[in-house]
Chains A and B, each alone.
Chain A
């Protein structure tokens, strides 16, 4: 087990390095650089100044030297500084991560709870009307763009009925209160989460159907066990293990979705920061975000694998 985890960790090192190479390569192709952002071409002797500054920053060195210098900085926790504000990218990320975790976490919870519940009901009542309805809803879920769902939710619940605010994370000017924050959270979290319930539903349904036909379930029923206990103890306990892996699959999709949802709802997380940076061509911030999201996805895959091996002792890794 421990060797498995260690080996899994070792394998992810070259992948993480590869990720940094790709990020660096893309960044080097980005229009505009740190020097041009700092020095206006209107300045007298701009060309000399730019040359001088490039030399100081090492931008005239061969690209691979630049990469290793950048990687060295990265390993010391330095992701560079925003072209726009001069703020450190690490600090910018750190300040906005809690808001994104709040949004993505809630959306994930919504997707899991609704998706798993629908999947279980669907499987237990296979080929019933409710099964077909849920399957149809699942198809509709994966087909609606999350931003369109967001617009519908805003139109219905914020504009027509005033249940929830249209955007932001809290009412501007008011002192922070949890209930105010949660009221702001409802619409973006549902817009992001609802369209992802279908994936959980599909996996849960398949997994439950597979487990339901096992001998031990038949035995449990045959010995007269209460149906509820058969479902919860014998079926669900085994059927929900593979669903854990879906969380790992879901994370990259949630990152992409949260960018758009944060923009629509002006939710001040890292996704909104990323879109702002893309519009302003602020490449250190863009790269900081891309690198961060890729590393988190990689880590979560690792954690999913490890969690899976704990949850399902039948799986042997050697």
Chain B
């Protein structure tokens, strides 16, 4: 999708000589309007989540049976749920939960992906073959199906949700890193480093890894969008973040009955829109980062 972005067909703009890679990348990113929009929206959401304890107007957890199922009003901006909890307060707290689950999960998967991909790509040969066949096996399982299964083995909790999503979504990054490493490992800068006795770890970390930082950052950004969707799905099924802790996914789970769907749309519209908005902003940012850091890739 990157090719549509306004930036690409104006690539001719002269770059000042001697400009660093990161300066160029930042310029390209700042020209991507949708990415900037995404960044603004996401920052606002992060701010709401961080400030949740300050801006909450009621407790997100305590029941208030005197004000059950109220429509949005001045007192309850987004209405209340069937147990009288304020939806606005729950939404901002849920943001904290959903965003941090996404962030931690994607950090875990990126780390595993980098380690496995680097080893496979640097070692090549048999080690590579074994690691890649293992990656193929993990990829053979539909990820959400496996996430649901393992979450049910470990038992549902917020930490298990992070862990399960993290340990099942690394193959994409592993393959990416491995492919790049394989293409770089025979190049002269690596041979030079090896010939003067630089240790393999140093070569991987100091010489090869900086070449894939851009690609990995882009993949991790899209991975975070995906992790938020996976968390929402898992919590929606009741296997992720558990009540009373709110997450956008489990707020939707509470709203599945037809009476709520029909009679109290604010209960499911608000969390659903928050998920879509968060994921959309992150995807926009990812697209901008792709233009900025990885301009050669077409997809």
Contact = CB atoms under 8 A, between A and B. Distances in A.
Contacts of A126: 3-4
Contacts, number: 151
B141 A147 contact: no
Interface in A169-210: 202-203, 205-206, 209-210
B13 interface: no
A202 B299 contact: yes
The listed residue with most B CB atoms (<10 A of its CB), out of A145, A203, A253, A275, is: A145
B45 to A, nearest CB: 13
B4 A140 contact: no
Contacts of B142: 251-253, 255-256, 293-294, 297
A194 to B, nearest CB: 13
Given A26-B149, A155-B265, A138 B1 contact: yes
B219 interface: no
B262 A135 contact: no
A15 B129 CA distance: 12
Given A148-B275, A281-B152, A286-B152, A135 B143 contact: no
Nearest to A289: B145
B276 A143 contact: yes
Contacts of B255: 151
A289 B4 CA distance: 40
Interface string A17-44: 0110010001001110000000000000
The interface residues of chain A, by DSSP majority, are classed as helix
A59 interface: no
Given A140-B280, A145-B276, 16 more contacts: A19-B137, A26-B149, A126-B4, A142-B283, A148-B268, A151-B261, A166-B258, A205-B1, A256-B143, A256-B145, A259-B144, A259-B237, A281-B152, A286-B152, A289-B145, A290-B149
Interface of B: 1, 3-4, 9, 34, 133-134, 136-146, 148-150, 152-153, 225, 229, 232-233, 236-239, 252, 255-256, 258, 261-262, 265, 268, 272, 275-276, 279-280, 283-284, 287, 298-299
